[in-house]
Amino acid sequence: MKLQLGLPVDGYAVSGSSQSTDWGIVCYKLLGAIPDRINGDYRRLFDAGLVLKPRIFEVATKTVDFRAAGELSWGSAVLTTLYREMYGATVPNKAKIGGCLSLLQSWARYRLPFLRPRVNHPHTFPLITRWNHSASYVGIPTSLEDIRLLLDQRSEAQFEWTPYKDPAIRAVILDKFFQNPNIWHVKVPMVTYAIVEMHQSDRVLRQFGFQ
């Protein structure tokens, strides 16, 4: 989350009460507009797949400059929501999926070079911004069946398990993001309002450099 989106994974959980508040008024006061979409007793704002829930508005009403929002674990909130959406998408009749799908796409592109579009531009931070530049998709399959076949045909050695060790990528990441890398692979529950999902890092240890 820190490397792909630049979002913190430590800090307070993005949670709180959403009762007895007119979020339309709060949105208008802070953002100058009221979102059209209404879900229950709060309003959801979508920005590149990131779901902002009432907690940020609670903070904003107390700190106009949003400084307190920086103390929240936004990375965990985005990942928790994506995990829940991916789980829900396994239902056979499910046709849609929410969450930060651009994160999932970027994560895959850094690890699946045979499905990665070619970009003639240096890496930038956050790493997800690499895909904002012009890219070539020549030779990359587009149908689901062809993509599945391509994945089945690839050997273990053809996956990039630790892409962030690439010197070209490492060079654009600030040292502060590597001060506590152990937090990336801890196995802990992630909480965002009523959503609780386990961070099952023990299932993907190879991407953290473990065998």
Residue range 28-44: average pLDDT?
A: 60
Measure the CA–CA gap between 43 and 38, rounded to whole angstroms: 5
pLDDT tier, 41 (very low <50, low <70, confident <90, very high otherwise): very low
Question: Is residue 21's pLDDT more than 70?
Answer: no
- Reading the block at residue 13, the tokens are 């959980």
Position 66 scores a pLDDT of 66
Angle at 91 between CA 117 and CA 79, to 5 degrees: 55
pLDDT tier, 205 (very low <50, low <70, confident <90, very high otherwise): confident
Position 74 scores a pLDDT of 86
Read off the amino acid at residue 34.
Answer: I
**Eight-class DSSP state of 195:** E
Angle at 133 between CA 164 and CA 76, to 5 degrees: 45
Question: Is residue 198's pLDDT more than 70?
Answer: yes
H runs (alpha helix) in 89-179: 101-111, 144-153, 167-170
Residue range 119-128: average pLDDT?
A: 93
Position 149 scores a pLDDT of 94
Position 44 scores a pLDDT of 43
Question: What φ, ψ does residue 43 adopt, rounded to 5°?
Answer: -110, 140
Give the CA distances from residue 134 to residues 16, 112, 129, 131, in Å, rounded to whole numbers and listed in that order: 41, 19, 11, 8
- Reading the block at residue 185, the tokens are 């692979």
What does the pLDDT look like over 111-120, one tens digit per residue? 999 999 999 9
Question: Is residue 35's pLDDT more than 90?
Answer: no
Q: What is the mean pLDDT of the chain?
A: 79
Whole-model pTM: value is: 0.72
